[in-house]
Structure 1
């Protein structure tokens, strides 16, 4: 199972949905947990339908803050156990494994309410004996090594969070890639980076998913990075594919020559054979048309990844340029998919 977790900082933002759709298209998550959606349930349902998820559950935002959502791929795989403004607790069912438990978590950002977050973790730990994993934005760190900035993280907060994790029999899953998942004021003297987003699991869960990996991803929207938990890395994710003719192809000057040439080239084959031959070559042709945009998106992401740990003025300026470029490319890609959806 592939689980995507992201503090998206508002699904109503024009840049948020293209970023989210690109994450879903690229990584094909089975389940997605979103925090700080800043929207109501009708918006989450709209996105569920648009992205093709079978199920969704959301906790409405409180004014202009908060909001949680979970979306899952297959109708009967997820059962909601309980929820609050800070968590969604789920039982997951997979054909190849016994049921297990996943909690999407959003810790209180206010310093004065951290103890409430830790108390919630301990209370959740006592509610079930299923193999358990928590994932999300905890708004806490476990050590000073998980922060980069000129002001040290308060020791009492590190100690309190660590004690809550230990008493709940949870273990931190190591993260691959860039070590920090949240940043603020990058490039300024008071810049801060921290690993606020993480996954925690019980020993029972870790023994069942011994090869599980957690990866820090990129997104041009939000000051939080998405994180991706893969319980079985190396598993093949495939999507059903059917050939469909798209009306927009009629605007391409090459189309007539391609159809005529391959219809003649297919020779004496029967109608079914000719259509199969033609659809195969049309699919290859349209993939080449779409590949340029995908290549530019991938190239921009690679350049952003290479600059992630650099703090010099030139790199910071280039990072902002690339983030704007990526947002524009994703908006183009989003417009293409919206146009395509109207044709069916």
Structure 2
């Protein structure tokens, strides 16, 4: 099971929705949490449906700022406990198992609101014995090592956050793939990078999911990297299903190749012969497409990995 949390910085841009779709395809998450959607429920429902999620909950933006979206699939049952402009607090049950508390957070970006929010955050814990996980953009740099460039961190803000985590019984789950989750997207001299997005867990939650890890995706269409929580650890990559691309049928050589593949002499009959013809045709199409167009998805993933390494 995977959970995706991403500060999308607005989902009105096609690049953002495309980047979201790619992340969902790659990790097949059961839950997606989006902050700074900057869009209303009606608009977001269309994107949710296209990505095949069945459940949803929204906190509408304040004007054109903020906005939260939570989507989940049929294998997950989610009960909403409470919500605000800065969090959605839930009880999550996966495949009918015992429920645990998950708080999807978007920490206040305004200094005037940070102290009150993090001081009161500890009281969100549903019950001391309940497994608790917090994921999202906390909007505070907790340690000087979590920042590169710019002015030193605000130590008073870091203290508010760390005191709240201590009082809540939460500790940070390491995220693999990079040190920082946000950058100001400027050149070397003016570049600033910070770790603003985190996964926080209680001891009880950690014992229930001992293989859980966090990983980072490349920041493609936002100044934040998506963070992925894998409850069962890393798994083998899914084998992509074969799909016919419509542009292939515009090429005359495609029909020649198809005829050669289909008319091949096979020493078998009936259903077995049909199955082998289909397999041969599929293999030939994939080989021909690789030569004609290159392996686009592999190329894109390779570029994203280089981008993540640079980030």
- TM-score (norm: length of structure 1): 0.81
Does the 8 Å CA contact 2:262/2:280 hold for their aligned counterparts?
no
**Alignment RMSD (CA, Å):** 2.5
Does the 8 Å CA contact 1:259/1:278 hold for their aligned counterparts?
no
- Deviation per CA, 1:111-148: give whole Å up to 9, x if none: 11101321342121245742110000000122111111
CA distance in 2, matches of 1:208, 1:260: 55
1:272 corresponds to: 271
**2:173 is equivalent to residue 173 of structure 1:** yes
CA distance in 2, matches of 1:58, 1:42: 10
**2:297 is equivalent to residue 294 of structure 1:** yes
- Unpaired runs of 5+ in structure 2? none
- Deviation per CA, 1:252-274: give whole Å up to 9, x if none: 32343343333332535444334
CA distance in 2, matches of 1:167, 1:58: 28
- Unpaired runs of 5+ in structure 1? 309-344
Pair 1:285–1:20, CA change in 2 (3 A): farther
2:187 corresponds to: 187
Pair 1:187–1:84, CA change in 2 (3 A): same
How far apart are 1:240 and its partner, in Å?
A: 9.5
CA distance in 2, matches of 1:43, 1:239: 32
2:122 corresponds to: 122
CA distance in 1, matches of 2:97, 2:277: 42
CA distance in 1, matches of 2:96, 2:210: 15
2:44 corresponds to: 44
How far apart are 1:101 and its partner, in Å?
A: 1.9
1:325 corresponds to: none
2:252 corresponds to: 253
How far apart are 1:235 and its partner, in Å?
A: 3.9
Pair 1:275–1:89, CA change in 2 (3 A): farther
CA distance in 2, matches of 1:143, 1:118: 16
Does the 8 Å CA contact 2:30/2:75 hold for their aligned counterparts?
no
Does the 8 Å CA contact 1:28/1:237 hold for their aligned counterparts?
no
- TM-score (norm: length of structure 2): 0.89
2:151 corresponds to: 151
1:217 corresponds to: 217
Instruction: Please list, as runs of the form range in 1=range in 2, the aligned pairs for 1:5-44 lying within 5 A after superposition.
Output: 5-44=5-44
1:306 corresponds to: 309
CA distance in 1, matches of 2:109, 2:248: 49
SS in 2 for 1:98: coil
- Deviation per CA, 1:14-63: give whole Å up to 9, x if none: 21011111111122222111100110111221111111222222221111
How far apart are 1:238 and its partner, in Å?
A: 5.1
